[in-house]
Amino acid sequence: MTCTDPESLHGIAWLACYLSSGKHMLFYSSFGTVLLLLAITAPVSLAFGFMGAMAARAGFAPLRWLGLAYTSVVRGVPDIVFFLFFVIALDQGIEYLRHEALCPGWTEPVRQGNDFIVCPEAKAPLSTAPQWVHEVYNFMLAVFTFAIVFGAFAANVLIGAMRAVPRAQMETAEAYGMSRRQAFWRILVPQMWTYALPGLSNLWMILIKATPLLFLLGVEDIVYWARELGGSKNPRFSSYPHGDWRIYYFLALLVFYLALTKVSEVGLGRLTRRLSHGQATAAGEAMRKAGA
Amino acid sequence: MTCAETFSAYWLRSLGIGERLLPRADITLCDQIVLIGSGLIWNVYFGVLALLFGFFLSITVAMGKASPHVWIRKPAEWFIFLFRGSPLFIQFFLAYLFFLQLKRLGIGSDLLTSAAAGAVVVLVLNTAAYSGEIFYGALRSIPKGDLEAADAYGLSGWHRFRRVTYPTMLRLAWPAYTNEAIFLFHATTLVFFSGFPAWQQQGDALYYATYFADKTFNPFVPYPIVAIYFVLLTLTVIAGFGVANRRLNRHLPQERRTRLKIRPQVIR
């Protein structure tokens, strides 16, 4: 079977050729983009959250204020506004810093009325850069934005989890002569995860459902391709003419997200069991009794 | 134009009343505040309608999920999974395309493909699923003693629901339901980014904010304005739900009353 002459094909053969066209391959790989975003964002925002939580507990007051300000400001600003705002702000911030560093002789103001103009060398990425650099740059901006926003939420969950570890555990650590730092890393951190997991699971579910926003951030993600491929195709411009099929493409996206949610539910359920093992909680106690 | 003139020209622009052309050049702070505020009318419209209809549907869904009959329970569970398990953004797209398909087949009308009606349908179903899960959780945590007392008084069926189950469920669910309402108002900003067209540039607060950000290349003014408007909207919602919360808890001793704890989430 060859796909060189689609007009001669019918039925299944036509569909098989249609679904394996070059653009469809890009569509399939964009599912990878979404999974990649999740895979990078989850640990990065957890790290941001951990730092935020540590800062909020710090003995040094300005650091503590910084941690608390981070969590409350990001959480207070409504959702999508933050996404739209942050990407442009970040982009302009980077270009402005590069402008200051690379073009010291530039005398014109950066903001000219309604325009934001930096010298050509300060453009990020450079306008001469190949297409993939632009795409990677946009993707990295998106990852950073997601990480900042979800980091604030994770910080809030982790602060709660650190407070939930029984006081007696920390007192025991002190009785054994551990320093504050040792008690934190050896007692508090290993035990807090079981308390943090319900909140973090919830956050993970929200993160999954926030990924279509990549489309708004200018990344060629699954929503972009579903609109692109599903729109009606004219026989003059396409070898696979068809009507408006967007509804089928979006149904496929719906199934993808439902499957991702279901898999996550099962996976997180297993993780919860794993983390409850040997913990000083009701779930951990039940597992101990069942095992004994 | 002075600020007062701008106000009278644009404060109902989102409904198509007043000046037709949006400001293009020399955009002032006043323009942005007035027009974005005008867009907020749509957010309030979507939020209030969705809350109103969603409330009744969500209680139905919660009762369905708690039902002992498989044929009632399963559809309710699937409904909740469908709307809680997928992004609202995708739901908007899909619903818009579905309504478009209906219109082509001659079944639907122009009404459903417009944001004013179509988006409300999606938001109602979505909030019904989320709050259905909340009410279901509350239904399951009604103290056993309350129901036994209802039995002892000879209440059954509708009377037991109306007098005992429903008020207790509402009281237990109220703090979480308040969060859901805040969350819903925030979600209304997605409408005009997801297929539903803004007819004659009549959009919501975020629509105009994006317009200004595109025109001025300066995100540092319009987006914070939206943020401030939404903080005010959120505070209004909290105040309104707080009044209801006090009423629902008025029979309890002070220390047993549940306090509203506000934890807005990021996005659905």
Q: Give me the residue spans of the domains in chain A.
A: 35-218, 221-276
Taking alpha carbons only, the member of B198, B59, B39, B44 closest to residue B118 is B198
Note down the domain range covering B192: 3-256
Q: Count residue pairs from A and B with Cβ separation < 8 A.
A: 117
Q: What is the pLDDT of residue B28?
A: 81
Q: What is the pLDDT of residue A17?
A: 80
- Which residue matches tokens 């001469």? A128
What single letter denotes the amino acid at residue A115?
A: D
Distances (CA, A) of A261 to A39, A52, A201, A202, B87: 15, 27, 11, 11, 10
Query: Under an 8 A CB cutoff, do B27 and A114 touch?
Result: yes
In a domain, B263, yes or no: no
**For testing contact with chain A, the best of B32, B97, B113 (most A CBs within 10 A):** B97
Q: What is the pLDDT of residue A75?
A: 62
Residue A153, chain B, CB below 8 Å: the answer is yes
| Domains in chain B, number | 1
Residue A59, chain B, CB below 8 Å: the answer is no
Measured CA to CA, the distance from residue A160 to residue A203 in angstroms comes to 14
Write out pLDDT tens, residues A275-290.
Answer: 777 776 667 777 777 7
Contact residues for B55 (Cβ-Cβ < 8 A; gap 6+) = B131
B213 vs chain A: nearest CA distance in angstroms? 9
Q: What is the pLDDT of residue B266?
A: 46
Give the DSSP letter string of B42-90: HHHHHHHHHHHHHHHHHHHHHHHHT-S-HHHHHHHHHHHHHHHSS-HHH
Query: Under an 8 A CB cutoff, do B189 and A88 touch?
Result: no
A250 vs chain B: nearest CA distance in angstroms? 6
A112 - beta bridge partners?
Answer: A115
Sorting pLDDT into bands at 50, 70 and 90, what band is A86? Answer: confident
Give the DSSP letter string of A201-221: HHHHHHHHHHGGGGGTTT---
CB neighbour class for B116 (10 Å; exposed up to 12, middle 13-18, buried from 19)? middle
Helices A222-230 and B88-105, packing angle to 10 deg: 10
What single letter denotes the amino acid at residue B111?
A: L
pLDDT tens, residue order, chain B (268 aa): 788 888 887 888 888 887 777 777 778 888 888 889 999 999 999 999 999 999 999 999 999 999 889 999 999 999 999 999 899 989 998 998 888 888 888 776 777 778 888 899 999 999 999 999 999 988 888 888 888 899 999 988 889 999 999 999 998 888 888 888 888 888 888 888 877 888 778 888 888 988 888 888 788 888 888 888 888 888 888 889 889 988 888 887 766 666 666 555 444 5
B160 vs chain A: nearest CA distance in angstroms? 34
CATH of the domain at B172: 1.10.3720.10
Distances (CA, A) of B213 to A4, A214, B18, B32, B206: 46, 18, 22, 10, 10
Residue A246, chain B, CB below 8 Å: the answer is yes
Residues of B with CB under 8 A from a CB of A: 25, 27, 81-82, 84-91, 93-94, 97-98, 100-101, 186-187, 189-190, 193, 206, 209-210, 213, 215-220, 223-224, 226-227, 230-231, 234, 264-268
What single letter denotes the amino acid at residue B232?
A: L
CATH T-level topology, domain A35-218: MetI-like fold (1.10.3720)
Query: Under an 8 A CB cutoff, do A114 and B267 touch?
Result: no
Q: What is the pLDDT of residue A119?
A: 75
B29 vs chain A: nearest CA distance in angstroms? 13
Poorest-confidence range of A86-100, A252-266, A272-286, B253-267? B253-267
- Indicate the pTM of the whole model: 0.84
What single letter denotes the amino acid at residue A206?
A: I
Distances (CA, A) of A288 to A58, A197, A285, B40: 35, 20, 5, 55
Q: What is the ipTM of this complex?
A: 0.83
Query: Under an 8 A CB cutoff, do B86 and A78 touch?
Result: no
Query: Under an 8 A CB cutoff, do B226 and A78 touch?
Result: yes
